[in-house]
Structure 1
Amino acid sequence: MPKPRSLNSRSPLHAGADFLAKLLNDGLPAGWQQTLQGEAEQPYFEKLSRFVEKEYSKTQVFPVQENLFRALHALDIDAVKIVILGQDPYHGEKQGTGLSFAVPNELFPKPPSLQNIFKELESDLGTVILKEKSDLSGWVDQGVLLLNSVLTVRAAQPHSHRGQGWETFTDHVISRLSDRTDPVVFILWGAAAMKKKTRITNPQHLFLESVHPSPLSASRGFFGSRPFSKSNALLKELGKVPIDWSRTTN
């Protein structure tokens, strides 16, 4: 495979994209480098980059800059076995880690959505997760991509960065995953995640869908959906090693 060109080595015409391109490129695994080559040169990306850079300069934005692309930095595309799609990052102080639904181990109390995920995990597999083990790094290390549809948010302002271009970027990420010939299991929680299904055109990929684990909807179909045992059953059918969902951290 030829060495991919750096995502932030562009002409001055695209200089507005430098802020996000540098954050993306620094630490990006080779597979994603190859897959996302040229993305930073798209007009939407330059507009998004200018917006996000301005937001970080004038207000508090989550996650911190070094964690903005953590979902992609932590797991190369060829290692992805399962994708769990979130919506926006948590908008509370010190909550967002760059991984959907995850929070730092030392953060208390845990967000209600994550608490409900752990409740369903216990109901599904009998697995009790200690409250301090919430960074979900153990899932990532086993091949679970924890990706939000929108990668930044203003502090205390949920949904504040929607409609700025992140949806286009993550659409492209999902489309590149769809291009893989090796099947991936997509776990789609909530309407925003289900919208991404239109980007997955390869019939080899598999889906598990339910309402979002938020307290507003969990009782309407998330509880009892058994995504953990079902996704492992699908992995076994594909001849892949199942996820040890009890390993939420390292």
Structure 2
Amino acid sequence: MSWDDFFIKNSKLVLHIYNQLRNSYCTPPLEDVFGIFKYVQLHDIKVVMIGDMPYKNTRDISDIAFGTKISNQKPPLLLERIYANLENTVTSFQRPLNHHLDRWLNNGIFLCNFCFTRTIADPLPYHYHLLWESFINNLVQYISNDHPVVFMLFGAKAISVRKSINEIKSSVVEVPHPIYEYNEFKKSKCFCKARELACELGFTIKW
């Protein structure tokens, strides 16, 4: 199994998505939509973190979910709250040198969203959930069938893909959304839980 194999099997679906996006103003740019697949190879994945959709502010957009290309400024609110949770619950955690999260990528943490794109024109692009629903479900099924990983599902849309995860091999942590469910997220120890599940599966996570 490999990313090449995955995209061959889903070629018609990917073509449909591209055709839908081709004439729309969306972020990230089309050439960056599948950027995560060049940073983390299938066999290297330890953790899959799934959010909702890319940042609304185009200034914050990068070619991976959660991360941003702007490294010398305060991170977006969602990422800031993730950092704060880690600092409060994982004693060994140190903030990455850059907000593109290269250290996480190098440690096998696969970062994506339920929707890999969002349109600029529509602030509430619910139709994008429909556009990406089959792709993200096929993706988590493919990953979880390959080898054991820990899935961290941030918010209701991400949690909806749990039905497609092979939980015979892999483990799942359902996480309150850092923005819309902040009080619950702040009290959660989701990253500690993910690390515990990883140990049970036979590997370690370096946050």
Normalization by structure 2: what TM-score?
0.89
The residue that corresponds to 2:206 in the other structure is 244
Aligned to 1:20: none
Superposed displacement of residue 80, structure 1 = 0.9
Match of 1:52 in 2: 21
The verdict on how the C-alpha distance between 1:138 and 1:157 changes in structure 2, with shifts beyond 3 A counting, is farther
Q: Secondary structure at the match of 2:59?
A: coil
Q: Which residue of 2 aligns with 1:26?
A: none
Q: Residues 156 and 51 of structure 1: is their aligned pair in 2 closer, same or farther, counting only changes over 3 Å? A: closer
Letter in 2 for 1:190: G
Q: Deviations over 1:184-217 (max 9, x none)?
A: 1011111011100011134221111121111x31
Query: For residue 169 of structure 1, what is the aligned residue in structure 2?
Result: 135
Based on CA coordinates, which of the two structures has the bigger radius of gyration?
1
- Supply the AA of the counterpart residue of 2:192: S
- 2:4: which partner in 1? 33
Spell out, residue by residue over 1:49-106, the C-alpha distance to the aligned partner (whole angstroms, 9 max, x if none).
2111111xxx3x2112332101222111111111100111112123121322111243
> Across the two proteins, how many residue pairs are aligned to each other?
205
- 2:56 is equivalent to residue 91 of structure 1: yes
Aligned residue in 2 for 1:22:
none
Using CA pairs under 8 Å that are at least 6 residues apart, name the structure with larger relative contact order, 1 or 2: 2
Alignment of 1:193-212 (within 5 A): 193-212=158-177
Contact 2:71/2:100 (8 A) holds in 1: no
Alignment correspondent of 1:227: 190
1:68 and 1:91 map into 2 onto residues whose CA distance is 15
Q: Deviation of residue 38 (structure 1)?
A: 3.1
Q: In structure 2, what is the equivalent of residue 179 of structure 1?
A: 145
Counterpart CA distance in 2 for 1:129 and 1:47 is 38
Runs of 4+ aligned structure 1 residues displaced above 4 Å come to none
* 1:217 to 2:181 alignment: yes
2:96 aligned with 1:134: no
Pairwise CA distance, 1:150: 0.7
Q: Which moved further from structure 2: 45-54 or 136-145?
A: 45-54
Segments of structure 1 that go 5 or more residues without pairing to the other structure are 1-29, 246-250
Q: CA deviation at 1:122?
A: 0.5
Change (3 A) 1:106 1:210: closer
Is the helix fraction higher in 1 or 2? 2
| Counterpart contact for 1:91–1:157, Cα < 8 Å | no
Could you say if the C-alpha distance between residues 66 and 46 of structure 1 is closer, same or farther in structure 2, counting changes exceeding 3 Å? Answer: closer
Task: Work out the CA distance in 1 between the residues paired with 2:108 and 2:164.
Answer: 20
- Equivalent residues of 1:94, 1:107 under 8 A apart: no
